[in-house]
Structure 1
Amino acid sequence: MDSSLLTQVVFGCQALEYRICRLCVNNMESDLSSFNIDAPRWDQCTFLGRVKHFFNITDPRTVFASEQELDWAKAVVEKSRMGLVPPGTQVEQLLYAKKLYDSAFHPDTGEKMNVIGRMSFQVPGGMIITGFMLQFYRTMPAVIFWQWVNQSFNALVNYTNRNAASPTSVRQMALSYFTATTTAVATAVGMNMWTKRAPPLVGRWVPFAAVAAANCVNIPMMRQQELIQGICVKDRDQNELGCSQRAAAVGITQVVISRITMAAPGMILLPVIMERLERLRMMKKVRVLHAPLQVLLCGCFKLPVSYLEPELQDTIKAKYGEQVLFAYFNKGL
C-alpha cells in the first residue's frame, strides 16, 4: 500500500476515533446534567438496599475528610441539583461527593454539622464511650463520670441531627439532657450498690441497665412535641394525609426499643467475654490493655389507617374514599 494512502487511512481512523470519543463524552455530560444526585444509590424497597444506603452515609472514614473536601462536595452537589455538572465529571465523583455531603451537612438546613454529632462519628464515638463504660464500672466516681459523658454525647448527637422542620427548643433539650443524665446516673449508682454482693458478671451489666433507662426517658422527652402535636402521615405517593399523635407514639416507642436492642449485643455479651478473658494469666499481666480491648470488641414505617385517630380517618375517607389503606410516617432514628 502507498505510504501516503496509508497515512491518510491512519489519520482518518484517528479523526473518526476522536469524533466518536467526543460524542461519547458529550453524551455522558448530557446524561450527567440530568443525573439525579438525590436519588438513592441502592433500591430502598429492599432490606439489603437500605442497609447499604445507611452504611454508605455513616461510613466512619468520612470523619477524616478535610474541610476543603467537604466544601468541594457541597459545591458539586448544589451544582448537580441545578443541572450544572462541571465538564469531565465522572459518576463516581458525583456519588462520592453526595456521600461526603450526606455525612457532614444537615439534610434540612444544609449547614455543616460538628464532627462529634455527625452520624458518621457514631461508630468510633459509640465504641469508645461504651468500652469505657463497660470497663470502669467498679467505682462510683467512674460510673457517674462515664454515664454523664455518654448522655452528653447523646444530647450533642440529638441537637446536631435535630429536625429543622419541627425544631426543639433549647429549654426542651436542656430538660431532656438533665432528666436523661439524672436517670442514667441514678440507675447506675442504685444498681451498683444493689449488686455489690451479686456475682461480678451482674455488676458488669449495670451500664446497659443505665443506658436502657436513660433511653426510655431521653427520647420521649426530646420528642414530646411530636406526642402533643402529632407527626405528618402520608400515603404511598407522598401525599400528606394529616397529623397523628398515635403514629408519633408508635414511632417513638419503636425508636426506644431499637436503641435498647442495638446496645444489647455489645453491652450484654461483651461483659461475658471479658469476664472469661480476664481470668487468663496473660490478661492478668497486661491490665493496661483491658480498656482498649473492651473498646475494640464493641464494634420508613407504615400503619393501617384504621389505627389512626377517628377524626383523621374521617378526613382521609372524605378526601380519598377507601383507596388509602395504609399511612406512612418517619419514625425517626
Structure 2
Amino acid sequence: MEMEITKFNIDAPRWDQSTFVGRLKHFFNITDPRTALVSEQELDSAKQLVDSCRAGSVPPGTSTEQLHYAKKLYDSAFHPDTGDKMNLIGRMSFQVPGGMAITGCMLQFYRTVPAVVFWQWVNQSFNALVNYTNRNAASPITLTQIGVAYVTATSTALATAVGLNLYTKKAPPLVARWVPFAAVAAANCVNIPMMRQQEILNGIAVTDENDNKLGHSKKAAIKGISQVVISRIAMAAPGMILLPILMQRLESFAFMKKIRFLHAPLQVMLAGGFLLFMVPVACSLFPQRCSMSVSSLEPELRESIVNQYGDNIRYVYFNKGL
C-alpha cells in the first residue's frame, strides 16, 4: 500500500477524459449534490490532503480511496485555476438543488408578467453567480464589467420572456409553457460571453501538453466559451422542454385538479430529477481541458510558437471553464 500511495498522482484523472463516458463519470463525481452539504472544515481537510499528496508527503495510513474522496471534494469546491474555495451557490455541485427550485418555479409560474419577470430575474442572478464562479480565473473581470454583464443578460431574458409571453397569448397552451426555455437559452448566449468578456478581448492563456505557457489566444477563448454556452443550454433543455409536456398531461387528470397547490412542488422535484442527470451530461459534452490546433490560432501567436518550437507543437491546451 505504501508503494502505491507514494506513486499516486492526485491530479491524474480517475477516468479517461478523452472519452464522453470517462468525462461523464468524472462529472457525476464532482457535481454530486451531496458534496454541497459537506462542512467547510471537511473541505479544508480535503484540500490539505490533496496539497500534501502533491508535495509527496501523504500521511501514513492514508488509503487510495481516501485520496480519491479528498480529490472529489477538492474538485467540487475549489477553483481549478486558483485553488481558491468557490462560493457555495456558484459550485456545479449546487446546480441540482439551486437549479431545480428556480427551474420548477419558472415552469409553474409562467402565466403572468410579474411572475415571469421575478423568476427570470432570480434565474439570471443565479446564472451570473455560477458563470462568474466558474470563469477562467486567469482573466480578471472588473465590478463594472460584472454589472454590465448581469444587467444585459437579465434584460435579454426578460425581453425574451415577456415578449414571447405576450406573443403566445393566442397560441396553444404548450407553446406558452416553452417560453421560459427560450428566455433561458437567449440569456445564456449573452450572460456567459459578457461575464467572460475579458477572455474574448484579451485572449485566454494557452499551454503545450506539459502546461508550459505559450501565450494568449482570443480564438481559443471564443471556442471555449461557445462550448460552455452549448453545454448550459443542453443542461436546461430536456427538463424545460419535456417537463411542460408531462405537466400538461398530468394536469388534465381530475385528481391533479384537486391538488393544484402541489403543482409547483411537483415541478420542482421533477426538474431536480432532470438536472441530476443533465448537469454531469452537459458538463461532459466537451473536454474540460480544451485543445486547438496551432494552425487555427491567430497569425501572431502561431508564428511565435513556430519560431520558438518549430513543428514540435501541433496543439495548444486551455481550461474552457464550466
Give how far 1:323 is off: 3.9
2:103 match: 130
Query: Is the 1:162–1:168 Cα contact (8 Å) retained in structure 2?
Result: no
1:171 match: 144
In structure 1, C-alpha distance between the alignment counterparts of 2:79 and 2:215, rounded to whole Å: 25
Q: Tell me the SS of whatever aligns to 2:57.
A: coil
1:329 match: 318
Give how far 1:146 is off: 0.5
Q: 1:100 to 1:322 in 2, by over 3 A?
A: closer
Equivalent position to 2:309, from 316, 320, 323: 320
Larger CA deviation: 234-243 vs 61-70: 234-243
Give how far 1:237 is off: 4.1
1:15 match: none
Give how far 1:271 is off: 1.0
Equivalent position to 1:274, from 247, 261, 268: 247
Equivalent position to 2:68, from 79, 89, 95: 95
1:21 match: none
Equivalent position to 1:220, from 178, 193, 199: 193
Q: Point out the structure with max Rg over C-alpha.
A: 1
Give % identity: 71
Larger CA deviation: 196-205 vs 110-119: 110-119
2:225 match: 252
Equivalent position to 2:78, from 105, 109, 120: 105
Mapping of residues 283-294 of structure 1, within 5 Å: 283-294=256-267
2:281 match: none
Q: RMSD value over aligned CA atoms?
A: 1.9
Q: 1:143 to 1:160 in 2, by over 3 A?
A: same
In structure 2, C-alpha distance between the alignment counterparts of 1:84 and 1:237, rounded to whole Å: 23
**Per-residue Cα deviation, 1:203-259 (whole angstroms, up to 9, x for no partner):** 101101111111111111111111111122334444433322222222222222232
Give how far 1:30 is off: 4.5
2:44 match: 71
1:268 aligned partner, one-letter code:
I
1:193 match: 166
Larger CA deviation: 214-223 vs 302-311: 302-311
Aligned length: 306
**Per-residue Cα deviation, 1:177-224 (whole angstroms, up to 9, x for no partner):** 111111111211111111111111111011011111111111111111
Larger CA deviation: 30-39 vs 168-177: 30-39
Larger CA deviation: 225-234 vs 237-246: 237-246
Q: 1:230 to 1:80 in 2, by over 3 A?
A: same
Q: Tell me the SS of whatever aligns to 1:116.
A: helix
The answer to which structure, 1 or 2, has the higher relative contact order (CA under 8 A, 6+ apart) is 2
> Can you give the 5+ residue segments of structure 1 that lack an aligned partner in the other structure?
1-27
Query: Is the 2:46–2:73 Cα contact (8 Å) retained in structure 1?
Result: yes
2:134 match: 161
Matched, 1:54 2:27: yes
Query: Is the 2:202–2:218 Cα contact (8 Å) retained in structure 1?
Result: yes
Mapping of residues 3-14 of structure 1, within 5 Å: none
Larger CA deviation: 309-318 vs 164-173: 309-318
Give how far 1:75 is off: 2.5
Larger CA deviation: 83-92 vs 57-66: 83-92
TM-score, structure 1 as length reference: 0.85
TM-score, structure 2 as length reference: 0.88
> Can you give the 5+ residue segments of structure 2 that lack an aligned partner in the other structure?
275-288
